[in-house]
Chains A and B, each alone.
Chain A
Amino acid sequence: MNTSLNYAYYPGCSSTGTSIEYDMSSRAVCAALDIQLNDVPDWSCCGSTPAHTVDHTLSSALSARNLDQVASMGLDSCITPCPSCLANLKTAKHRMEDAGFRDKVNNLLDKPANTQVGTKSVLQILVEDYGVENIKKKVVKPLTGRAVGAYYGCILNRPAELMQFDDREHPMAMDNIMEALGATVVAFPLKVECCGASFGIPRKDLVMRLSGKLLDTAKGIGAMALVTACPLCQMNLDMRQAQVNNANDSHHDMPIFYFTQLMGLALGLTEKELGIDKLCVSPRTVLDAMASEQSVKERAA
Chain B
Amino acid sequence: MKVINVNLSYNSDFVTQVEEESGQKLNNCYQCGKCTAGCPYTDEYDIAVSQIMRLTQTGQKDKVLNSKSLWLCASCESCTARCPNKIDVARIMDVLRHMARKEGYIGIHTIKTFWDSFLGSVKNNGRVFEVGLLANYISHTGRFWTDMGLGHKVLPKGKIHFTPSEMQGKKEVTKIFIRFKEESAKCRAREKSREISADSRSPQDEYVPELRLLSRVFKHRNLH
Contacts and interface: CB of A to CB of B under 8 A. Distances in A.
A65 B169 contact: yes
Interface centre among A14, A54, A65 (most CB of B within 10 A): A54
Contacts of B115: 49-50, 53-54
A61 interface: yes
Interface of A: 13-14, 16-18, 20, 42-45, 47-58, 61-62, 65, 104, 107-110, 154-155, 158-160, 168-169, 192-194, 196-204, 206, 210, 239-240, 242-243, 277-278, 280
Nearest to A242: B153
Contact of A278 (B159, B176, B179): B159
B75 interface: yes
Contact of B179 (A108, A202, A280): A108
27 contacts: A17-B161, A20-B159, A42-B168, A49-B74, A49-B115, A50-B118, A50-B119, A51-B122, A53-B97, A65-B172, A154-B74, A155-B76, A159-B88, A168-B81, A194-B41, A194-B78, A197-B76, A198-B74, A199-B74, A199-B111, A201-B114, A201-B134, A201-B146, A202-B114, A206-B41, A206-B72, A239-B153
A278 B157 contact: yes
Contacts of A14: 128
Nearest to B101: A54
A62 B176 contact: yes
A6 to B, nearest CB: 24
Contacts of A47: 119, 122
B104 interface: no
B37 interface: no
Given A42-B167, A56-B94, A110-B172, A154 B161 contact: no
B48 interface: no
Given A13-B128, A49-B115, A200-B147, 13 more contacts: A18-B130, A51-B122, A55-B98, A55-B184, A57-B183, A62-B173, A158-B81, A159-B90, A192-B78, A201-B114, A203-B111, A242-B149, A242-B153
Contact of B81 (A51, A55, A160, A242): A160
Nearest to B126: A44
Given A210-B40, A277-B157, A155 B150 contact: no
Contacts of B97: 53
Contacts of B149: 242-243
Contacts of B110: 202-203
Nearest to B90: A159
A63 to B, nearest CB: 10
B113 interface: yes
Contact of B126 (A45, A196, A206): A45
Nearest to B71: A53
A18 B110 CA distance: 22
A109 B176 contact: yes
The 6 closest A-B pairs by CB, nearest first: A154-B76, A158-B77, A50-B115, A197-B74, A194-B76, A202-B110
Nearest to A62: B176
A56 B90 CA distance: 13
Given A104-B183, A203-B72, A159 B77 contact: yes
Nearest to B86: A161
Interface in B84-136: 88, 90, 94, 97-98, 101, 108, 110-111, 113-116, 118-119, 122, 126-128, 130, 134
